Each structure stands twice: as structure tokens, then as C-alpha cells.
Amino acid sequence: MATPYPENRNSTRFDHFSPLLIKDLRSGEIYEARMLNYSDDGIYFESNGEFQQGTKIYICIQKSPYYQSTGILKYFYGEVIWRRELIRSNSNYGYG
């Protein structure tokens, strides 16, 4: 599968679009974001929030691909592994 940023992946990635709220656990700031895909190892999201690599975050997924129930908010703890500045997007950064 060709991607703009080829990477070694441990798990298959699936497209899934969902609005997110991301809370930076250190600062307490909350940012809107959107998930574009996910795998067993994590998610890819875009946001105008500026998170550094290693930032611990709390994620609220409004339409979680990990659960079959609809209309239920799901919450996860996570860590920003990488960040890329985006040029052709409505958001400033892409995160994994």
C-alpha cells in the first residue's frame, strides 16, 4: 500500500473518520481534532493543537471504530509518537 509517508507498520491501517476531543494531560488544554484512520497500534489524527512527541493525551472518540455501539463516547489515554506539519489540510498538524 503506497502512502505519502511510507512507514513500517505492525498492524493494518483502516480508514475511519470521526470527530475527536484531545486533552493535553500536562496543560489541561482541550483541542478539537479528527481521526482519519486507525490500527490495533493507534490512530492518526489531525488538529490545530500543538502537541510535542511524548505528550500524554486523553482522547474522546465520538464515533469509535473500536466499539460497535453508536452514539456512545469512548475515552482512551494515549501518547503522541510523532507529529508532522501539514501543508494541504484544514489542520496544522498530523499525529500518530
Query: Which amino acid would we find at residue 15?
Result: D
DSSP, res 28: -
The structure's pTM equals: 0.81
Please write the tens of the pLDDT for every residue from 4-20: 444 566 778 888 888 99
Write the CB contacts of 66 (distance below 8 Å, at least 6 apart in sequence): 38, 74
Please write the tens of the pLDDT for every residue from 47-72: 999 999 999 999 998 777 666 666 66
DSSP letter for each residue of 39-85: ETTEEEEEESS---TT-EEEEEESS-TT-S-SS--EEEEEE---EEE
Question: How far is Cα 42 from Cα 96, in angstroms, rounded to an integer?
Answer: 7
